[in-house]
Structure 1
Amino acid sequence: MDSEWIPPEVDSQRPSVARVYDFLLGGAHNFASDRDLATGLLRVEPQARLLAQANRAFLRRAVRTIAQAGVAQFVDIGSGIPTQGNVHEVAQSIDPDARVVYVDNDDVAVAHSRSILAGNDRTAVIQADMRDPGGILADPGLKGLIDLSEPVAFLLVAALHLIKHDEDPAGIVAELRGAAAPGGHLVVSHLTHEAQPGKTAAIGKLYDRATSPAVSRSHAEILRFFDGWDLLDPGLVYVPLWRPDEGEAVEDPERFLVFGGVGRLP
């Protein structure tokens, strides 16, 4: 890793979920501890790279759909380390005036994001924890770019499964919903144990070594995050099944272990 991306306070000995994800997506902003956890993950789930790619592809399709619906403001919470096809690239390819705020608590993710986005005055990067949505919404970096009286898309992609039950993930989403204007959107993808409980349990044990856990939830539990939102078709489905691009056929979608959905605030 290029040393300019490494803030001095980074603990390189403890795996970071953002950096593990970066490794799975082929990035270079990760440490030996992250690669060790990712190697264990690949032993449990040999398709882990494919799953990570499918999740990113879902994010891109969701952002494209929302931007085409006329929403020009995006807040990507738990955004991780930038890779190809980021939210601002997708949104601004449809609306050059689209504004995007990235939020993450990982030092490397934030430092690299700020470097990549330097000079793009329609993007901002905030270092904050998704467990404090009020702090995120009140952050000057967000308020300088996002008008909460207008529709905003809140993205929680592969994020809420990093929140333990006693940390009230539903409360996080409810606070965002309370701040959203009609026409705003919510995008969620989330690990599930419905198809392969043994595999997701093993993934959860691995993540106990990392900066955040991996808490799998049922379809019904994930669906509750959309309380108060109107789910867009096709509803909450395995991520490759959410509005696949033409010619994308998916076999055994349950092997992807992650449900995804998009809601709109009426």
Structure 2
Amino acid sequence: MSFTVVIPARYASTRLPGKPLADIAGKPMIQHVFDRATESEATRVVIATDDDRIREACQAFGAEVVMTAASHDSGTDRLEEVTRHLSLATDARVVNVQGDEPLIPPALINQVAANLESAPDAAIATLCEPIADASAIFNPNVVKVVFDYQGLAHYFSRAPIPWARDQWSDSGAERSLPENVTHYRHIGIYGYRVGFLRRFVTWSPAPLERAESLEQLRALHHGVRIHVGIACEPPQAGVDTEEDLVRLRRLMEA
């Protein structure tokens, strides 16, 4: 199994500027992500950034860095540019690991790559996990996914899908986990075939993508198949806010 990991790292985060360079246990956060990725079975690990400060920090710990344009509308556009910089073949596979996941298990990176290889009809592979807290189902920041018996996605949504009609019909009642169906939270790690990325960047955002602010809906709009696997290990939470950063520092320094 041959695949490349690409780690996008932007300095201009709205909620936490300079996030990739935030110190955690004596290392910048992006280095922790890089270390986890190099523990996977990837044949190559590349950091993609549009900021010289991040480039310098990454080169200092020996990472391969690709500078990308600052004008990209999405992370997928940035990823496609990286595949051109690296001259990857259209049948090559890349796994996009977010730069704010310093505790991502390497096993999840391997799982996404393996699932993409074993699902020839899918151009994208991603992961999910069962939801154990009913409040998460109704949280629009938690993206839900439904898929068929082959693991092929039907839809991703910020809304509570599937809707447990009989159990949740009383809007005044406390909503609990349904007994006869499992809800799944989408985990934002992706594997792609490079040929798909070449096509994706030529498509305009789809209506459902705009409505939900979920980029993967553009692929479904164009009939692209997305394989969804249940994560082999529970993922650790990433870093979105200052509070997340404090929590990760305490955990990793301990």
TM-score by length of 1: 0.34
TM-score (norm 2): 0.35
From the CA coordinates, give the structure whose radius of gyration is larger. Answer: 2
More helix by share: 1
Structure number with higher strand proportion: 2
Report which structure shows greater RCO (CA 8 Å, sep ≥6). Answer: 2
